[in-house]
Structure 1
Amino acid sequence: MSGAALESLCRGRSLDATESAELFTRIAKGDVAEVELAALLVALRCKGESADELAGAASALLRAAPTFPPFEGEVADVCGTGGDGFRTLNVSTAVAFVVAAAGVRVVKHGGRAVTSASGSTDALLALGVQPARSCEQASRDVADTGLAFISAADVHVALRSVAAVRRQLGVRTTFNLLGPMLNPARPSIRLVGVPEPRFVRPVAEALQRLGTRVALVVHGSGTDEISLRGPTSCALLRDGSIEDRTIDPGELGLGFHEVDALRVESAAESAARIEACFDGCGRDADAAVIAANAGGLLWIAGKSSSLGDGVADALGVIRSGRARAMLDEHRARTGGAA
């Protein structure tokens, strides 16, 4: 089947959801040779991934993953796809601490860096926090503290062979777009950043097909997050309907900050800057972009009545020391030491 899929993609024809699910089931089983997998990923990227392709692939990969223990209520996730090329600090990782400290339960799914300076797991380890190694452990963490981190490499064991191909390619692939959709907890509330504006709507539609209740999919002036350098293109998914929006940084009250101010060279630098922000002595740009994105998640989760109120609430959590306390709790809980 993968040969036929490759031929279709090379001709510019998108796969339907069933075809995509069948293809990615074979990939998860290790039935697709590395050279063929590389060709498929390049062909998908060059054509541009569709909502059906993403939803079909995510459904197949979630079926291959361990089952997350049942829980009451809702949980949220915040995740950027990476692949925007800017090598910024781990905004979504910091946001998870802030939002959980504000009272929204978060199961953050992430992995190691492939196209960035620091992946979510890299930053957590540099912060002295060990992500959960299983769905059961993550379930206990979120039940006890309101926050859990789960490593994609530990739950999506079938995809370990894919990582080598992705590293060798060294460019954004379909798996960047799929990453935020593969959280085994299947959060009903999601803030997702994408690397190009053309993916805002397809990713929102894929999340809709996957049953997500509310999501804000964003691309901020070249970055996979709500931006403070220029307008952020958004798709707001709420109860089955999708609305296109634009967020202007001027409406957030955080000033304007160029993306260069957010660059990091390593996971260690990213962790140090997040910790400094939580201690109240970090860079203005770091605190502002963390508050902007935390505010977005607080808003769609219903914790704050508007995006502006969400930003104010996020800043309050940081300034009060609650984000720092959440970090310290998870560092102690997992036995880490920064």
Structure 2
Amino acid sequence: MSKETQLREFGRLICEVGAGKFMSREESCAAYRQVILSEQPELQQGAFLMAHITRGPSVQELSGAWDAMDRYDTAKIRTSMDGPVCDIVGTGSDSLKTVNCSTPAFFIASACGLSIAKKGARLVTGVSGASDILEILGVDLDMPLSQAEKCLRKYSICYLPGEAFLKSGWARLIKSMRFTSVFNIIGPLSRPCTQTNCMVIGAYAPVVCDQLVEVLREIGMGAALAPFGMVHGAEVTRGMDEFSPAGPTRTVELRNAKIETYEVTPEDFGLKTVDFSRIASAKTAMENAQRILCVLQGEYDRPEADFFCMNAAAALYIADFAKSYAQGLEMAKKALATGKAYEKVEQLLEFQGRG
């Protein structure tokens, strides 16, 4: 196929998607391959991404985009850990901006004995992404993935920055874009640790939670939770990509290839509902990082602590380390109180720190 023909066919696809046509999984994979490998001009890449997210992607299209990302853009680490390996991540782009939660939650859950290979990235629409926070805490985002693999093997914890394992396509696009695209949805679905078999993956909208879990089932994930946290008094369309201590959380659960949707409340974790202002994001990444560090270093009576423990508890529950959300919360609180959660920060920095 000539270059001009390739350009024209992709241009035609942009128009068709914008007009409402749905692609098959294979067609979506082929289209996203061209975006990931930059086989199309940036103008056509951006037009396609905007047309697709505006029309709304189907599960088959998301699965095809994930196929392209996994085949052409995802570097892998391979381990043989005993027991499950979990990931805690969110899509970002949520309307209620909270202090970073999945970052401290992965330290807390790992301190409870669960192996965690967490993915993350820099900010897209908020104040700080996981990579921004961990960089402030001392993580070297340019460290080879082999160091993350060693850390996971020794300490059952590692951080996998999207900037490191998705270098050629996703990282380039996320760095240059300031609008939500399918990459915000499939990026958190990436599996750079081949042993990851369970996941907590928050999303910015209920329909996206549904799609994420359906895609995870399509690609063979064993178990997953997709929360959309809400706030009492706020519009139901506004929410956070975390379990919420400020209102109910709509939750989609995948287990044994079956999907169930339900609501959980802070009371289901054994907590009282709090005002959203107690967990709202600060104005800078440095302030958010300091709040996280205070909790991990022992100030577990701060309002953010229960927020972090709720989301660690969710990971413990979906990995079958806890029989209920409430039991998971008690385990998480104990990990904070004994100092084991901060020990995980030190262990991570031993292999992935700036030295």
**Coarse TM-score class (shorter-chain normalised):** over 0.9
Given the alignment of the two structures, is residue 271 of structure 1 paired with residue 289 of structure 2, yes or no?
yes
CA drift at 1:32: 2.1
Given the alignment of the two structures, is residue 238 of structure 1 paired with residue 238 of structure 2, yes or no?
no
| Structure 1 length-normalised TM | 0.93
CA drift at 1:86: 3.2
Equivalent residue number for residue 334 of structure 1: 352
Equivalent residue number for residue 138 of structure 2: 128
| Structure 2 length-normalised TM | 0.89
Q: Which range moves more in the overlay, 126-135 or 238-247?
A: 126-135
Equivalent residue number for residue 172 of structure 2: 161
Relative to structure 1, is the Cα distance of residues 271 and 41 closer, same or farther in structure 2, using a 3 angstrom cutoff?
A: same
Contact 2:268 2:325 in 1 (8 A): no
Match of 2:118 among 108, 111, 114: 108
Given the alignment of the two structures, is residue 181 of structure 1 paired with residue 212 of structure 2, yes or no?
no
Equivalent residue number for residue 191 of structure 1: 200
SS at match of 1:23: helix
Q: 5 Å matches for 1:283-302?
A: 284-302=302-320
Match of 1:89 among 96, 99, 105: 99
1-side partners of 2:35 and 2:71: how far apart? 13
CA drift at 1:328: 2.1
The amino acid of 1:94's aligned partner reads P
Equivalent residue number for residue 147 of structure 1: 157
Q: Which range moves more in the overlay, 298-307 or 248-257?
A: 248-257
The amino acid of 2:261's aligned partner reads D
Larger Rg: 2
Relative to structure 1, is the Cα distance of residues 66 and 295 closer, same or farther in structure 2, using a 3 angstrom cutoff?
A: same
Contact 2:222 2:256 in 1 (8 A): yes
Contact 1:79 1:109 in 2 (8 A): yes
For residues 129-151 of structure 1, the C-alpha deviation after alignment (integer angstroms, 9 at most, x for no partner) is 23473332221110011100011
The amino acid of 1:249's aligned partner reads P
Q: Which range moves more in the overlay, 75-84 or 180-189?
A: 180-189
2-side partners of 1:214 and 1:129: how far apart? 29
The amino acid of 2:71's aligned partner reads R
CA drift at 1:282: 5.5
Equivalent residue number for residue 4 of structure 2: none
1-side partners of 2:345 and 2:48: how far apart? 40
Q: Which range moves more in the overlay, 212-221 or 52-61?
A: 52-61
Given the alignment of the two structures, is residue 80 of structure 1 paired with residue 90 of structure 2, yes or no?
yes
The amino acid of 1:104's aligned partner reads L
Equivalent residue number for residue 229 of structure 1: 246
Q: 5 Å matches for 1:255-270?
A: 255-262=272-279, 263-270=281-288
CA drift at 1:128: 1.4
Contact 1:93 1:120 in 2 (8 A): yes
Q: Percent of aligned pairs with the same residue?
A: 26
2-side partners of 1:321 and 1:164: how far apart? 35
Please list every run of 5 or more consecutive structure 1 residues that lacks an aligned counterpart in the other structure. Answer: none
SS at match of 1:121: helix
For residues 74-125 of structure 1, the C-alpha deviation after alignment (integer angstroms, 9 at most, x for no partner) is 3110001100133322211111101111111111111111211111111001
Equivalent residue number for residue 3 of structure 2: none
Contact 2:251 2:261 in 1 (8 A): yes
The amino acid of 2:96's aligned partner reads F
Match of 2:330 among 303, 312, 322: 312
Runs of 4+ in 1 over 4 A off after TM superposition: none
SS at match of 2:192: coil
For residues 18-65 of structure 1, the C-alpha deviation after alignment (integer angstroms, 9 at most, x for no partner) is 111111111111112222222222222222222112111111111122
Contact 1:6 1:43 in 2 (8 A): yes
Relative to structure 1, is the Cα distance of residues 298 and 131 closer, same or farther in structure 2, using a 3 angstrom cutoff?
A: farther
Equivalent residue number for residue 228 of structure 2: 219
Given the alignment of the two structures, is residue 57 of structure 1 paired with residue 68 of structure 2, yes or no?
no
Relative to structure 1, is the Cα distance of residues 18 and 97 closer, same or farther in structure 2, using a 3 angstrom cutoff?
A: same
Please list every run of 5 or more consecutive structure 2 residues that lacks an aligned counterpart in the other structure. Answer: 1-8, 231-238
2-side partners of 1:128 and 1:27: how far apart? 33
CA drift at 1:281: 2.1
The amino acid of 1:201's aligned partner reads D
Given the alignment of the two structures, is residue 321 of structure 1 paired with residue 330 of structure 2, yes or no?
no
Relative to structure 1, is the Cα distance of residues 188 and 104 closer, same or farther in structure 2, using a 3 angstrom cutoff?
A: same
The amino acid of 2:254's aligned partner reads L
The amino acid of 2:187's aligned partner reads G
